[in-house]
Amino acid sequence: MQFCDECGSMMKKRGEDMVCASCGYHTEQNSTGDFVSTQKQKDEDVIETEEGAEFEGKPTDDSVVCDECGHTVAWYTIKQTGSADEPPTRFFKCTECGYRWRDYN
């Protein structure tokens, strides 16, 4: 990863040069390593939301309320959906009606 000398933003590779996405500053690539670009999401990054999907988790106490049926017990699991410096996301499934929702701490 290379950062802009002018504004500090992350640079993107364009041809043989590096270009700042924020200010447009151009420079040569300063690393001899390979750059990897991801084009699509990996299967392990996808969170299963299908109705018949397995849902592993722990039962909650009465601290949550299902928006569909008002039941106060749900299964939950925690996944890191953002970058490592962001809080994890909690996914819930109502034990009564099966409604699913997420909570962004």
DSSP-derived pairing of the beta strands 58-59 and 26-28: unpaired
Is 54 catalytic? The answer is no
Q: Is 10 annotated as a binding residue?
A: no
45 annotated binding-site participant: no
Give the active site residue among 48, 86, 96, 103.
86
* Residue 72 assigned ligand-binding role: no
52 annotated as a binding-site residue: no
Name every residue whose Cβ is closer than 8 Å to that of residue 67 and which is 6 or more positions away in sequence: 99, 101
Tokens of 46: 């996808």
Cα Rg, the chain, nearest whole Å: 21
The yes-or-no answer on residue 85 being catalytic is yes
Active-site position among 43, 44, 62, 85:
85
Annotated binding site for Zn(2+): 4, 7, 20, 23, 66, 69, 94, 97
The residues annotated as belonging to the active site are 85-86
